[in-house]
Amino acid sequence: MASLPSGTTKNKVRLAYLVSHPIQYQAPLLRRIAQEPDIDLTVFFGSDFSVRAYQDEGFGVDVKWDVPLLDGYRHEFLPVIRDNGTQTVTTPLNHGITSRLRGYGGAPPFDVLWVHGYAMVNALHGILAAKLLGIPVLLRGDMWLRDRPRSGTKLVLKRFFFEGLKKLVDGVLSVGTLNEAYWRHYLGDDVPLFLMPYAVDNDSIQERSVEARAGRDELMQELNLDTGRPVILFASKLQRRKHCNDLLEAYKRLVIDWTDGPTPYLLIVGDGEERAALEEEAARSGLDGVRFCGFRNQSELPRFFDISTVFVLPARHEPWGLIVNEVMNAGRAVIVSDDVGCQPDLITDGVEGYVYPVGDVNALTEALRRTLNSPEATAEMGRRALEKIRTWSFEEDVYALRSAIAQVTHKITA
């Protein structure tokens, strides 16, 4: 267990956060929450696989994050029953959460439990334990109603499940518009909602994006890119649902009759099951402007944002898409499909970028053409993207969390 410098916890709200494993996007938020003078945060993890090198199922390569995942906040890894380095309904599986919520080793009991998700045994164990101990529960997750097809029986069972769940939860921390609609659909108006937006470390990414300018020429040389040619960027896992194949096809159509200045490049950052097929298609089509850059770690991404003209996420069934938050912090225009969950909150068609119907390659091609035909308008979209993302930050997250804690405990003010 890691601890922060000792200090009095008197008059502080003791907040427990239960989550499956350290998550690269959450770590800076947890550090920020730990700075609140009247919140005493302890994070309980089910597994430590993400702090070690591990095989990421989506990227298909060994991953070890190069950003600190555990610094700056109190945390503990729960005793393990089952942990094979994956996430399923029953993995990781731990014990000891009840004793810790009650007050482990002479510590006072917690005042509130915040749980990430509800579809794992660990999460449900924590929720039930908290309710038995009389501790209010806050729930957060990125679910939405654009779900995968399910049978009528499964939908009925899901309804039945939520009838029970809403009796156990005192508040929900929604991450955005589509997520709020999900909670309203299944929980009704009985459980209060607080908008705790899906955000990234805006300040850090903006700072690293500025620093990246100094190494721009070096990266251009590494990738064999000519200065003056626009750059289309994709950065995500190369899984089927990410539909990088749609972007590759749109790029092919775009450059066939491109006459509006230097031909654009397409940079594909990431790895995964679809990489070989994408490389084969690019070679077969004679697309010499495509660069496959492989997996790049978290701290490297601002270098690619810096050299890009426009970022594209053509995914299907993407509950949020935090990479969009990141690239907006670099002040770049964004093109997303209408099946990317962050779109209603972050991207307005024609303002911060363009939105097109998922799977419509012709519409994606046209969005690329419109973006690259007008460098001035695209730069303005990037400025608007940066302006928008500044209002979608950790400060809004902390305010929402404080508001929720204040309502369920009456021990702090929002």
Three-state SS for 114?
strand
pLDDT at position 255: 95
Q: What is the 3-state secondary structure (H, E, C) of 311-374?
A: EEECCCCECCCHHHHHHHHCCCEEEEECCECCHHHHCCECCCEEEECCCCHHHHHHHHHHHHHC
Beta strand pairing status for 54-55 and 62-63? antiparallel
Q: CA–CA separation, 404 vs 176, rounded Å?
A: 16
pLDDT tens-digit map of 124-180: 999 999 999 999 999 999 999 986 667 778 888 888 999 999 999 999 999 999 999
Structural domain containing residue 186: 13-199+393-409
For residues 403 and 381, state if they share a domain. Answer: no
Look at residue 3 and tell me if it is in a domain: no
| 376 and 253 share one domain | yes
CATH of the domain at 317: 3.40.50.2000
Q: Are residues 67 and 18 in the same domain?
A: yes
Helix%, strand%, coil% for the chain, nearest 5: 40, 20, 40
Answer yes or no: is 358 within a domain. yes
Give the pLDDT confidence of 221-250 residue by residue, as tens digits: 999 999 999 999 999 999 999 999 999 999
Q: Is residue 238 part of a domain?
A: yes
Cα angle 203, 67, 298 (rounded to 5 degrees) comes to: 75
Angle between helices 375-389 and 322-329 (to 10 degrees): 110
Residue 370: what residue type? R
> Confidence class of residue 218 from pLDDT cuts 50, 70 and 90?
very high
Q: How many structural domains does the chain have?
A: 2
Based on the domain organization, do 132 and 263 belong to the same domain? no
29-65: pLDDT as tens digits: 999 999 999 999 999 999 999 988 645 555 555 656 6
Give the pair of three-digit tokens for residue 240.
């089927």
Residue 205, pLDDT score: 95
Q: Are residues 224 and 356 in the same domain?
A: yes
Do the domain assignments include residue 6?
no
Q: State the angle between helix axes of 322-329 and 202-212 in degrees (0 to 180), rounded to the nearest 10.
A: 50
Q: Are residues 105 and 152 in the same domain?
A: yes
Q: Is the dihedral of CA 192, 197, 198, 201 positive or negative?
A: negative
What single-letter DSSP state applies at residue 149? P
Q: pTM for the whole thing?
A: 0.91
> Is 7 a domain residue?
no
